[in-house]
């Protein structure tokens, strides 16, 4: 494993990256094509869920599958506060979970305030399909529950707010289940690693090595593209 690599698990701004950062871009299936040569995940965001177009969207995901940079399905999920009614979100989510399962791809999930519905929607996903909650900002109790269910948790810029729920919960999350991400923010991924390693009482170097290992296992791919 290459020392010194930072992993940005989930970003919508993949362009401004340093050499020592491996960023996973999160895109809509319509934005993908065979020329993308950085790692990406693709999926219909719950805010854009539309049952009328989902079959067409799944076909677009299938078309991307020949690109080896397409390493996961997401972000997909459920959101109580935004997007179409929950029933439609669930249907669109489950179709994409089905795509991920039949193609043995990991799943990157967006979930806001509908944890019970989420857990029941992923209930039948086989154990060998890794799943991560991106932008996690829950209590230590929720973190524990999700970890027990097998989820990885990806933590973003809210870590910089020492009063945020995830700041309080961070040390509960096993380091083998942890990721960091910039998402849509302009925060530097290196700052997140620095703050996290302070909170976790390990060196940034050790944290980088562990997260790169998590990356390799989660996406079943090398941390060196």
Nearer to Zn ion, 11 or 167 (CB): 11
Q: Which residue in 130, 122, 167, 170 sits closest to 152, CA to CA?
A: 130
CA distance 100 to 210: 25
Beta bridge partners of 21: 6
Point out the residue whose Cβ comes nearest to Zn ion: 183
Compute the least distance from the CB of residue 112 to Zn ion, in Å: 12
Kindly state the DSSP code that residue 185 receives in the 8-state scheme. S
Strands (E), 67-214: 70-79, 107-112, 131-133, 152-155, 178-180
Nearer to Zn ion, 135 or 209 (CB): 135
Geometric angle at alpha carbon 130, from 168 and 100, rounded to 5°: 130
Residues that bind Zn ion (CB under 5 A): 183
Compute the least distance from the CB of residue 130 to Zn ion, in Å: 18
Nearer to Zn ion, 154 or 214 (CB): 154
Nearer to Zn ion, 8 or 183 (CB): 183
Nearer to Zn ion, 79 or 183 (CB): 183
Beta bridge partners of 7: 22
Helical packing angle, 204-219 and 189-200, nearest 10° = 110
Compute the least distance from the CB of residue 72 to Zn ion, in Å: 13
Nearer to Zn ion, 77 or 130 (CB): 77
Compute the least distance from the CB of residue 152 to Zn ion, in Å: 15
Compute the least distance from the CB of residue 80 to Zn ion, in Å: 17
Give the torsion through C-alpha atoms of 110, 206, 3, 168, to 10 deg. Answer: 20
Compute the least distance from the CB of residue 161 to Zn ion, in Å: 18
State whether residue 46 is helix, strand or coil.
helix
């Amino acid at each position: 494993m290459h020392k010194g690599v930072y992993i940005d698990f989930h970003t919508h701004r993949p362009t401004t990256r340093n050499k020592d950062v491996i960023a996973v871009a999160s895109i809509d299936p319509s934005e993908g094509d065979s020329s993308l040569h950085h790692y990406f995940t693709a999926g219909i965001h719950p805010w854009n869920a539309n049952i009328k177009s989902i079959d067409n969207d799944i076909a677009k995901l299938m078309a991307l599958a020949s690109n080896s940079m397409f390493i996961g399905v997401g972000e997909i999920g459920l959101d109580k506060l935004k997007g179409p009614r929950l029933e439609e979100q669930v249907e669109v989510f489950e179709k994409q979970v089905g795509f991920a399962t039949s193609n043995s791809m990991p799943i990157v999930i967006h979930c806001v305030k509908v944890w019970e519905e989420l857990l029941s929607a992923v209930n039948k996903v086989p154990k060998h399909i890794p799943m991560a909650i991106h932008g996690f900002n829950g209590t230590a109790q929720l973190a524990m529950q999700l970890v027990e269910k097998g989820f990885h948790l990806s933590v973003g810029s809210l870590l910089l707010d020492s009063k945020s729920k995830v700041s309080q919960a961070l040390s509960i999350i096993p380091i083998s289940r942890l990721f960091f991400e910039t998402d849509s923010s302009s925060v530097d991924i290196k700052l997140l690693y620095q703050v996290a390693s302070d909170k976790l009482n390990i060196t940034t170097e050790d944290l980088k090595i562990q997260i790169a290992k998590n990356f390799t296992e989660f996406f079943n791919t090398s941390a060196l593209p």
